[in-house]
Chains A and B, each alone.
Chain A
Amino acid sequence: MGNIYWLASYPKSGNTWMRILLTNYLRNADQPADINSLDGGPIASARQAFDDHVGIEASDLTQDEIERYRPFVYEQMSAQAKEALYLKVHDAFTYTPYGYPLISKAATAGVIYILRNPLDVAVSFAHHSASSVERMVRKMGEADFAFVDKPQRLHNQLRQKLLTWGGHVTSWVDEPGLRVRVIRYEELHADTVAAFSRVIHFCGLDDDPARIAKAVQFSRFEQAQKQEAEHGFGEKMPGAESFFRKGQVGSWRAELTPELVEKLIADHAPVMRRFGYLNESAELRY
Chain B
Amino acid sequence: MYIYRAYQFLIHADFPIPEFPQVNETGDPDVVIRRGAVPTALENAAGKGVLYQTTANQFLLNMNDLARYLVQNGAEIVVEPAPNSPASDVRVFLLGSCLGALLHQRGILVLHAGALYTERGAVLFTGPSGIGKSTLLGELLRRGYKMMVDDVCGVMLDASGRPTVLPGYPRTRLWSDAAQKLEQDITTLERTRPAMEKYERQLPEQYWDQPAPLRRIYLLNTSNKDELFLTAEPRMDTFSIVLRNTYRQQFLDGLEMRAPHFSLVSAVAKQTTVTRVTRPSHPFRLTELADLIEQDLGQG
Residues of A within 8 A of B (CB): 47-48, 51-60, 62, 69, 72-73, 76, 151-156, 232, 234, 236-239
Contacts and interface: CB of A to CB of B under 8 A. Distances in A.
22 contacts: A47-B128, A47-B129, A53-B50, A54-B49, A54-B50, A54-B52, A55-B49, A55-B61, A55-B250, A58-B129, A59-B129, A60-B92, A60-B96, A69-B50, A151-B197, A152-B176, A152-B197, A153-B175, A153-B176, A154-B130, A156-B130, A232-B224
Given A56-B61, A236-B224, 8 more contacts: A47-B130, A54-B49, A54-B52, A55-B52, A56-B96, A59-B198, A153-B178, A237-B224
Contact of A152 (B128, B177, B225, B282): B177
Nearest to B177: A153
Given A54-B50, A55-B49, A238 B130 contact: no
B196 interface: yes
A232 B130 CA distance: 22
Given A55-B97, A236-B224, A238-B282, A155 B50 contact: no
B21 interface: no
Contacts of B51: 54-56, 69
B204 interface: no
B246 to A, nearest CB: 12
A48 B129 contact: yes
Contacts of A234: 224
State the main secondary structure of chain B at its contact with A: loop
Given A47-B129, A238-B224, A238-B281, A55 B50 contact: yes
B196 A238 contact: no
Interface residues of B, number: 32
Nearest to A239: B282
Contacts of A232: 224-225
Contacts of A72: 50
B34 interface: no
Given A52-B250, A54-B51, A153-B177, A59 B130 contact: yes
A55 B251 contact: yes
B101 to A, nearest CB: 9
**What 10 pairs across the A-B complex have the smallest Cβ distances?**
A55-B52, A55-B49, A154-B130, A153-B177, A54-B50, A72-B50, A152-B176, A238-B282, A152-B197, A238-B224
Contacts of A47: 128-130
A76 B225 CA distance: 35
Contacts of B192: 60
Contacts of A239: 282
Contacts of A56: 51-52, 61, 63, 93, 96-97
A62 B281 CA distance: 23
B162 interface: no
A60 B88 CA distance: 11
Nearest to A76: B50
A60 B225 contact: no
B216 interface: no
Interface string B280-299: 11100000000000000000
Contacts of B280: 238
B153 to A, nearest CB: 15
A123 to B, nearest CB: 21
A239 B280 CA distance: 11
A174 B198 CA distance: 38
Contacts of B258: none
B1 interface: no
A48 B130 CA distance: 10
A4 to B, nearest CB: 15
Pick from A55, A58, A152, A232 the residue with the most CB of B within 10 Å. A55
B130 A151 contact: no
Contacts of A58: 129
A76 to B, nearest CB: 6
Contacts of B176: 152-153
A237 B175 CA distance: 22
A48 B249 CA distance: 13
Contacts of A76: 49-50
A215 to B, nearest CB: 27
Contact of B130 (A69, A73, A155): A155
B224 A57 contact: no
A52 B93 CA distance: 15
B236 interface: no
A186 to B, nearest CB: 29
